[in-house]
Amino acid sequence: MHMEEQGSLAVNQLGYRSTDAKIAMITGEGGRFRLVDHASGAVVWQGDTIPAVDDQASGIKVSRGDFSVWSQPGTYRIESGEGHSSYPFVISDAVYEEAHQALLKAFYFFRCGMELEEKYAGPWKHAACHLTPALVYGEEPRRIDAWGGWHDAGDYGKYVVPGAKAVADLLLAYECYPQAFEGALPLPESDGVMPDVLHECRYELEWLLRMQDGESGGAYHKLTTLQFPGPDVMPEADTAELYISPISATATGCLAGVMAMAARVYTPHDAAFAASCLKAAEQAWAWLERHPEYPGFRNPAEVFTGEYGDEQDLDERYWAAAELYRTTGEARYHEAFRGFAGQNAFDKYELGWADMGGYGTISYLLSERENEPQLAARLLAGLQQRADELAAVSREDGFGISLRPEQYIWGSNMLVMNHAMLLLIADRLLGSQTYERCALEHVHYLFGANVVGMSYVTGLGSRPILHPHHRPSEGDGVEAPVPGLVSGGPNYGKQDEYAREHLADKAPAASFADVMESYATNEVTIYWNSPAVFVLSHFV
């Protein structure tokens, strides 16, 4: 049942916490709607929808049925006046625990370079992969043994910049919500002492350390084959030659930022590892200082894997300076941060791999160091303004989220979760709960309260995506996809053949296809999962 069908209803398929706002999205003019006990069929409550709006992003008229007053735990469905019914959902105080665990466990499934054994991977087990040392592209034959880390996405490339974003989101989640990570996943490393989120991040951090050039301190941009393997090739069957692409300023800035952050987070758990992270951060910073101007990364001529190109490296330098200052308290990092903060060439509130500015701002504002009150006040005012803008868009949107029609881009669900993350951090820094409800609407959207009527996370909800663009899910012979993966979601750009052919006339928020072929709408990545982990950490 798609939302586009007249009279259909979309809800958060996981359910709602007892005291949260609860809203069903109903196509068309709306009217009377009822809350029905799913087992007995008894109507327990009824009400009238809020007047319908023409929703630009989804291209339909949508009305909202607010049943927030009902808080009694149970399993329910919503029925409209015409007798259409929603998927069943629960009202409970523990709605998000399983989803939070699954979103975090996904990183284990993304691991490269080790066997995923049945004890931890269940039917999605597979042999170790990508263990041969990689050739450094464009140099005299030289190999680097940079095994490990996470596969980036539906392919098996490993990229420093998006990897750093994913780790930063997870470490921020742990710093802000340590209680959300008390339970074991479990992982092979689970020891009941260090939280599993830190074991998982360490697997990636150790790979990032291998991607740093020991002599210069610069970070190589990525490690991939020359071309993507076929769509159903399992990781261990992807045996083409591995190449390490040249050093980039954006990768080096991200390495400095995430290593400085890790040095702080791991100190209570493993002082030696924390010290190695800090040393790496300082060496990367020294590289950045020696290369104040550096050309943006471009794929070498024969390399056709993800580029993650970015002409602008000031945002990564800003983030690195903030984290190094927060971790060490050294004045030189504060000076550098102030210099970058005075530049208008990058956005100081974005949380995407192409713009890491938001991480610098957040680090500075969360820092307990003596910082400069006027600069902090200016950055906080900017954060509040951005949060207000997101909340304003959400109030106008038919599905209650902060994406404007033109923001349904490749990986739009990353923006959905990044925005929710920013709203929650704004509340935290402002000492308010102004934006929490708005952030929660973004969670409802991810799990089914959207025009497509699907949960955009594998294995979660009544109608989750089943065919993500993810090679292991396609090639492993298991019918169900690897669980806990966030799909990229609607993409008005429709950059793949399937989307161009089948979604040509769809509105932005409806431009989605749950098929492997549609990599522009249905791929998965580590850095779409990571902000979702942060956001759910707030609600568990």
Phi, psi of 118 (to 5 degrees): -55, -35
Please report, for residues 78, 139, 393, 422, 522, the alpha-carbon distance to residue 172 in angstroms, rounded to integers and kept in the order given. Answer: 36, 37, 26, 12, 26
What CA–CA distance (Å, rounded) separates 444 from 450? 8
Q: For residue range 244-270, what is the model confidence (pLDDT) as tens digits?
A: 999 999 999 999 999 999 999 999 999
User: Which residue is catalytic, options 169, 316, 397, 523?
Assistant: 523
Per-residue pLDDT in tens (0 to 9) along the chain, 540 residues: 455 443 489 999 999 999 999 999 999 999 999 999 999 999 999 999 999 999 999 999 999 999 999 999 999 999 998 889 999 999 999 999 999 999 999 999 999 999 999 999 999 999 999 999 999 999 888 999 999 999 999 999 999 999 999 999 999 999 999 999 999 999 999 999 999 999 999 999 999 999 999 999 999 999 999 999 999 999 999 999 999 999 999 999 999 999 999 999 999 999 999 999 999 999 999 999 999 999 999 999 999 999 999 989 999 999 999 999 999 999 999 999 999 999 999 999 999 999 999 999 999 999 988 889 999 999 999 999 999 999 999 999 999 999 999 999 999 999 999 999 999 999 999 999 999 999 999 999 999 999 999 999 999 999 999 999 999 999 999 999 999 999 999 999 999 999 999 999 999 999 999 999 999 999 999 999 999 999 999 999
Catalytic status, residue 514: yes
Contact (Cβ atoms closer than 8 angstroms) between residue 236 and residue 212: no
Please report, for residues 1, 179, 184, the alpha-carbon distance to residue 268 in angstroms, rounded to integers and kept in the order given. Answer: 50, 16, 19
Contact (Cβ atoms closer than 8 angstroms) between residue 320 and residue 240: no
What is the predicted pLDDT for the residue at 78? 97
CB atoms within 10 A of CB 80: 23
User: Is CATH 1.50.10.10 what the domain over 97-371 is classified as, yes or no?
Assistant: yes
What is the predicted pLDDT for the residue at 5? 45
User: Which residue is catalytic, options 97, 115, 514, 517?
Assistant: 514
Q: Scan for tokens 């934006």, then name that residue.
A: 435
Q: What letter would DSSP give residue 39?
A: T
What CA–CA distance (Å, rounded) separates 465 from 431? 37
Give this prediction's pTM: 0.98
Catalytic status, residue 155: no
The amino acid that residue 94 corresponds to is A
- Three-class DSSP category at 231: coil
What is the predicted pLDDT for the residue at 4? 45
What is the predicted pLDDT for the residue at 7? 47
Domain ranges (residues) in the chain = 97-371
How many residues does this entry show for the chain?
540
Work out the angle at residue 288's Cα, subtended by the Cα atoms of residues 286 and 290, and round it to the nearest 5 degrees: 70
Classify strands 89-91 and 74-80 as parallel, antiparallel or unpaired.
antiparallel
